[in-house]
Structure 1
Amino acid sequence: MESSAGGSRQAGRGGSVDAVHAGLDAPAPRHASMCPVEDWLGFLGHRWNALILWHLQGAPLRHALLLERLPGITAKVLSERLTGLQERGLLTRVDIVAVPRGVAYGLTPAAQQLVPVLNQLEWWARGVSDERALTRLVSLPRGDVSGLIGVIGVAVRDR
């Protein structure tokens, strides 16, 4: 067992002591269908679902406005995704009584808890992408690097 500023961790196959103490399962053989994280990642990773939640984090939006903010999605697919998000308890459908009448979609409290997790995932993904881009950049021949510097906005010192 190691101790660090972030808490104690158990080395080896036993998993994280912190995870077990937090009420989470320790790593063990199991089918992916039995893992709630796999289930949710599969659902949220389905095309458009995370982006819909991202666009709704500010305020409820009408179907037509969501269509405008999601270039490439069809009205049918958007309706299917909205229904799926509602069935998972992440969206509410709110009737609009003002003119023009209609409905808007907003986040439930569960989705409001999920959005910061998605934001953290975005920060992580951007960091990994930046690291991979820099690794590729540094590994290019010197002549190729100079043409890429302005494109990605990274300054590279002479080696």
Structure 2
Amino acid sequence: MKSSIAIGADHAGFAYKQELVAYLEKEGYQVRDFGTYTEESTDYPDFAHPVATAVESGQFDQGILVCGSGNGVAITANKHQGIRAALCWLPELAALARQHNNANVLCLPERFVSPEVALECVKVFLATEFEGGRHQRRVGKMSC
């Protein structure tokens, strides 16, 4: 069964979010779009917090956030105790975020990656499993 995905973006990530929602739904993922729903200027925490809360609560398996640099949504999401949000701009980073850090939220920088690279990061992130082992010990030390 495909995992459930919470997704959100500010105005600078709106275009990619729309493309990613369409792809995920076509692939059979359960998707909830937490906004934004236009390209009108917005504040990224208004979308990062609900996505992080949905993943942290277990309502959704994983999250995807998009903003201009990816930094704002990553910093915001990582304020949540149960979130491990990773800013990725290459598929290899998305794989390592899952394998080594058990990341549960993928953050993408729309202004710095092509739509094709963003989609490949999503595909790799969703297809990659956490390796556990020595990485589990490290992940266990992340929370304050």
Of the two, which has the highest radius of gyration? Answer: 1
- Shorter chain as normaliser: what TM range? under 0.3
For normalisation by structure 2, the TM-score amounts to 0.25
Q: Which has the higher strand share?
A: 2
Q: Which has the higher helix share?
A: 1
